[in-house]
Amino acid sequence: MRTSRRSGAVGAIAIAVALLASACGGGSGDGPTVTIGSTNFGEQLILGEIYAQVLEAEGYTVERRFNLGDRDIVAPALRDGEIDLMVEYTGSLLTYEGGTPSSDSDATYAALIAALGPQELSALDYGPAQDKNGLVVTAETAQALGLATVSDLAAHNGTLIFGGPPECPERPLCLPGYEEVYGLEFADFLPLDVGGPLTVAALAGGDIDVALLFTSDGVIAARGLVLLEDDMGLQPAENIVPVLRQEVIDAHGQDFVDLINRVSALITTAELRELNKRYGIDAVDAEVLAREWLQANGFVD
């Protein structure tokens, strides 16, 4: 399982309030209201808003239940019918369901579909955007050392300092994985945080040379950092994928499915990174970002 920022305790009162609170859309389409949920970080709010607004623009009635908590809260809410749709990540959800993802997006998606079927849930088409662990260096380091892929780091074994979450030395997809799959040997490992401000500050300040960040992190765009290609496929696929209750799909039909799939197909990792930058660093509201993205891609006027 990847190192994740998608966890955290949420109090019972907060959960209850979040499940009761909602903002209803103005759509007037036939069929039941589509209740869209999300977990509790900015990227999820942006993606939730994109799907909510495009459905509203096509006349569907939408209810928002965002910021519900981590997957342990939102996944049961989807199964129990408290929400109808949420944007997930193929590898992480497959792991949650007891499966084993790989770096192959198609294979991971197929396994996810099989895992969700008995629960009367459907994963629609996955999008090209991925939010997973990645190794990042500064533009200066990339240019000086000729770095474009993770494999390129091996030419500098024993000279670079790696920074990441404290648990990284024990996680198979973190330090042990990079050692085993890529043959990397770092001069030192500096325990920091999970793709957060400590890691970013250490990279910017030169305390570390290589950082573990999330591939869709807005700071990569904001600071012009270089994400190294995972050319040997250590990290599992984490494509964004809308997951819905089959009952809702049956009620709204193929046009509904096709609309959601068209949106997913156009969200790239680079675009998601830029959206996250504008949300987390430039402080633009998720509603505004979603509307602008839909306008730029021809879904709304």
The domain boundary residue, chosen from 178, 200, 227: 227
In a domain, 195, yes or no: yes
Q: Can you give the residue range of the structural domain that contains 251?
A: 12-130+237-296
Is there a single domain that holds both residue 106 and residue 204?
no
Is there a single domain that holds both residue 120 and residue 267?
yes
In which band, very low, low, confident or very high, does the pLDDT at 31 lie, cut at 50, 70 and 90? confident
Is there a single domain that holds both residue 192 and residue 151?
yes
- Any idea what the CATH number is for the domain that residue 139 is in? 3.40.190.120
- Any idea what the CATH number is for the domain that residue 45 is in? 3.40.190.10
* Tens digit of each residue's pLDDT (9 = 90 or more) over 141-163: 999 999 999 999 999 999 999 99
Mean pLDDT of the 133-147 span: 98
Mean pLDDT of the 72-77 span: 94
Is there a single domain that holds both residue 215 and residue 276?
no
The domain boundary residue, chosen from 227, 250, 279: 227
In a domain, 5, yes or no: no
pTM here is 0.88
Mean pLDDT of the 286-297 span: 98
Both tokens assigned to 146: 């000729």
User: What is the amino acid identity at position 235?
Assistant: Q
Is there a single domain that holds both residue 123 and residue 188?
no
Three-state DSSP class for residue 253: coil
Q: Please count the residues of the chain.
A: 301
Beta strands in the chain (DSSP E): 23-24, 34-37, 62-65, 85-89, 121-123, 133-137, 161-164, 188-191, 210-214, 226-227, 240-245
The domain boundary residue, chosen from 227, 258, 288: 227
Which is nearest to 182 in space by CA: 206, 162, 203?
162
